[in-house]
Chains A and B, each alone.
Chain A
Amino acid sequence: MVELFVQQSVNWITLGCIYALLAIGFSLIFGVLNVIHFSHGDVAMTAPFIALASAQGLAAALGATGPAWLVLAVVAAVLAVGLIGAVLDKVVIRRFRDAPAMMALVATVALGIVIRELIRHLYPQGSNPHAFPRLVSGVAFEITSVPISWFSLLVVGLTTLLVALLFVFLRLTPLGLRIRAASEDRVVARMMGIRDDRVFRATFFIASAIGAIAGLLFASYAGVTRFDFGVMTGLLGFSAAVIGGLGSMPGAIAGGLIIAGIEVLAQTFVPDGASYRLVFVFVLVIVVLIFRPAGLLGRTIMEKV
């Protein structure tokens, strides 16, 4: 019983951290642009493919394989996805920031289709699932004879580090201050001499790069990646951001942990729970939003006519 508890707690925290990283991206973009970037999940899930491709490219060009080169490929993927995010912002998403919310939603859903199809066509045999290696392997230590893998520690450590860095960045750097100003009030920020297009570009780069890390961790956790993983991971990350309260970083983390928690609980304690897990997750989403219509930690805004 204790083993089960420890085992599932580890699963919960690992998955929760991945969802939280995705949710942070949604929250960050929504906070600044007021746009739901529905293809964020798809953008994030391009990272495993880029990493695989660059690892193979490195192996072919230099004949080098091994953990060091894998790290290089992963870093390249994260930067590349950040750039993809910034480009998508400039080409597509920014144009919808003043459009009705639903229009931006539909446009980014279509953008998600385009991204998935591009992966499918550009990557060799893109329609098939591709095995993705564990970024780190091996067991770190044991708690009550339950092995705790290095991978889980990596996920938790990386998430903590990223959240801390993001916090420092947003609070203490000039660019972070501009991002916060633009998310508070874009028009006033402009009047204060803040170039909002630069703020958008930076926000998209950061959000997409964090999403890429989440995508890489997810593919590594699942051991496999496929071109359409972005739909469900995106939906789950979005749900996490919304039930936490859009625009709130602690909310995004709490939302990620809650979504992962219900998923793990359903799989562990409900018979046939694995096939019903999405039902449990989304019923929870509905219930949370009925009782907290602006999310758990979201700001309730007083409406004026």
Chain B
Amino acid sequence: MGRSASSAAPGAAAATAFTILSQLCGAAFLYALLKADGGWQVIGLLVLLGVGFFLLERFPWINDFVMASLTRVPLITTATAAVIVLGFPFLVGSNTYILHLLIVAQLYAVLALALNFQLGSANIPNFSTGASYGIGAYASALLALNFGMSFWLTLPIAALAATLFGFIIGIPSMRTRDTYLALVTIAFGVVVQQLLNNFDWTGGPNGLVGIPAPSLFGHSFASPLQVFGWKLPSQANFYYLSAALVVVAIVTAQRLHGSRIGLAWNALRADEIAAKAQGINVAWYKVLAFAVDAFLAAFAGTIYAFYVSYISPDNFTFLVSVTIMTMVIVGGMDNIFGVIIGAFLLTILPEKLRAFSDYRLLFFGVVVIGFLMIRPQGLFPQRLRQYGVHR
């Protein structure tokens, strides 16, 4: 691995050009997919995507080369990404539907990154991310509606509530494993969803209505955003907010991956008993994985609640957890970049398949199964940890 990577290592100038070009290509593809209308355009783009991944499969050095040039010039990579993310709403203009899709995709990206701590890093199944997401959304919405708290104050409180929930789920995870643990998390998810559906103070099946829009420095998020004379629709506020959350999630994931905690999780994934023999506190790290997942999921839930201003138990069902899980597996476990791509694809794809109107769920299921059969390691497989390679 080391030899092929070094032989393909690009020079600084080539890396810079390639970095900017590849990211622009990615953004252009995303834009085209979002703009695509009608069955044939969507199918054409999907075929293009399929060809791209076929090439990646046949020629793995392309992937190595891209990754090498991205890491060669990290500052330029970050700057290009920032420009693309900040500039995207200007490109989209007044198309609120596209902005809405992007916001939802970003929130799912955060949820998928949250789940990735367990499923990807430590190989712990968790079907209760949807429940943590729901607890975050409900906690913040209830605080805002009943006590008039501001969005910024409910954010940490909701996260704490969900983290507590994460610890509670973590307790059985100390004893059960694999399929049995999967069922425990499914059970937790169903219980939370059913309780939200039945309690009076959560509004029952009707949910909570009229969650007020947040405001920052006197600027209400419900009003259009004015930047340098450009007028962006009000969704742009939430677009930037969720983008900021994605950045927080990425930084958290990277820091944790690089820390002893991430290493301990990887050790759990490789072999739990061997990890225990090495003196790793298995129970604690498992519980910690659940807590971190719930913490991040609650952030996403809070933003979602304040964005759509209406939440109901239907938003947080078992199938939502399964969708998040599919995103992680399709994107590539323990690969931050892959997980985000998976979240974006699986959010945007079903919407675009509306061209097939009633058949889109069927199509979605077939695509997921076909994908898992053809490329079971995910779009971007996990990368080996590299040590002692300081450039």
Write the residues of chain A forming the contact surface with B, with a CB cutoff of 8 angstroms. Answer: 30, 36, 92, 95-96, 99-103, 105-107, 109-114, 117-118, 121, 231, 235, 238-239, 242, 246, 272, 275-276, 278-279, 282-283, 285-286, 289-290, 293-295, 303-305
B198 A275 Cβ-Cβ under 8 A: yes
A289 B180 Cβ-Cβ under 8 A: yes
Interface centre among B176, B187, B361, B362 (most CB of A within 10 A): B187
Distance in angstroms from A176 CB to nearest chain B CB is 24
A285 B365 Cβ-Cβ under 8 A: no
B329 A103 Cβ-Cβ under 8 A: yes
B179 A117 Cβ-Cβ under 8 A: no
In this assembly, does B322 line the interface, its C-beta being within 8 Å of a C-beta of chain A? yes
A105 B171 Cβ-Cβ under 8 A: no
Distance in angstroms from A24 CB to nearest chain B CB is 16
In this assembly, does B47 line the interface, its C-beta being within 8 Å of a C-beta of chain A? no
A121 B376 Cβ-Cβ under 8 A: no
Which B residues, 164 to 185, have Cβ-Cβ distances below 8 Å to chain A? Answer: 171-172, 175-180, 182-184
In this assembly, does B368 line the interface, its C-beta being within 8 Å of a C-beta of chain A? yes
Which 10 A-B pairs have CB atoms at the shortest separation, nearest pair first? A113-B365, A282-B187, A117-B362, A114-B365, A110-B368, A293-B176, A293-B175, A285-B187, A110-B365, A242-B183
Q: Across the two chains, which residue of chain B brings its CB closest to A304?
A: B273
B194 A279 Cβ-Cβ under 8 A: yes
A121 B359 Cβ-Cβ under 8 A: yes
A286 B188 Cβ-Cβ under 8 A: yes
A58 CA to B175 CA, complexed, in Å: 54
Residues in A whose Cβ lies below 8 Å from that of B372: 96, 99, 103, 106-107, 110
With A285-B184, A286-B172 known as contacts, the answer to whether A117 contacts B361 (CB < 8 A) is yes
Distance in angstroms from B335 CB to nearest chain A CB is 15
Residues in B whose Cβ lies below 8 Å from that of A305: 271, 273-274, 277
Residues in B whose Cβ lies below 8 Å from that of A99: 372, 376
Distance in angstroms from A54 CB to nearest chain B CB is 23
A103 B362 Cβ-Cβ under 8 A: no
The interface on chain B, measured as residues whose beta carbon lies within 8 A of the other chain's beta carbons, has a size of: 45
Residues in B whose Cβ lies below 8 Å from that of A282: 186-188, 190-191, 194
Q: Interface SS of chain B: helix, strand, loop or mixed?
A: helix
In this assembly, does B369 line the interface, its C-beta being within 8 Å of a C-beta of chain A? yes
A110 B184 Cβ-Cβ under 8 A: no
With A96-B372, A111-B369, A235-B190 known as contacts, the answer to whether A121 contacts B183 (CB < 8 A) is no
Q: Across the two chains, which residue of chain A brings its CB closest to B362?
A: A117
In this assembly, does B119 line the interface, its C-beta being within 8 Å of a C-beta of chain A? yes
A96 CA to B372 CA, complexed, in Å: 9
Mark B325-368 against chain A: 1 for CB-CB distance below 8 A, else 0. Answer: 11001000000000000000000000000000011011011101
Write the residues of chain B forming the contact surface with A, with a CB cutoff of 8 angstroms. Answer: 119, 123, 125, 171-172, 175-180, 182-184, 186-188, 190-191, 194-195, 197-198, 271-274, 277, 318, 322, 325-326, 329, 358-359, 361-362, 364-366, 368-369, 372-373, 376
A295 CA to B329 CA, complexed, in Å: 27
Distance in angstroms from A95 CB to nearest chain B CB is 6
A102 CA to B179 CA, complexed, in Å: 8
B125 A102 Cβ-Cβ under 8 A: yes
Residues in B whose Cβ lies below 8 Å from that of A235: 186, 190, 318
11 contacts between A and B (CB under 8 A): A92-B373, A95-B373, A101-B179, A102-B325, A107-B373, A110-B369, A117-B361, A231-B318, A282-B194, A289-B172, A289-B175
Q: Across the two chains, which residue of chain B brings its CB closest to A92?
A: B369
A158 CA to B342 CA, complexed, in Å: 46
With A106-B325, A106-B368, A286-B188 known as contacts, the answer to whether A246 contacts B194 (CB < 8 A) is no
Residues in B whose Cβ lies below 8 Å from that of A106: 322, 325-326, 329, 368, 372
With A92-B373, A110-B326 known as contacts, the answer to whether A102 contacts B198 (CB < 8 A) is no
With A106-B326, A286-B184, A293-B180 known as contacts, the answer to whether A276 contacts B273 (CB < 8 A) is no
Distance in angstroms from B311 CB to nearest chain A CB is 19
A117 CA to B361 CA, complexed, in Å: 7
B366 A114 Cβ-Cβ under 8 A: yes
Q: Across the two chains, which residue of chain A brings its CB closest to B195?
A: A279
Residues in A whose Cβ lies below 8 Å from that of B373: 92, 95, 107
Q: Across the two chains, which residue of chain A brings its CB closest to B169?
A: A286
Distance in angstroms from A278 CB to nearest chain B CB is 5
With A238-B183, A305-B273 known as contacts, the answer to whether A118 contacts B194 (CB < 8 A) is no
Interface centre among A101, A112, A279 (most CB of B within 10 A): A279
Q: Across the two chains, which residue of chain B brings its CB closest to A246?
A: B179
Residues in B whose Cβ lies below 8 Å from that of A242: 179-180, 183
A111 CA to B190 CA, complexed, in Å: 21
Q: Across the two chains, which residue of chain B brings its CB closest to A283?
A: B191
With A103-B329, A275-B198 known as contacts, the answer to whether A294 contacts B180 (CB < 8 A) is yes
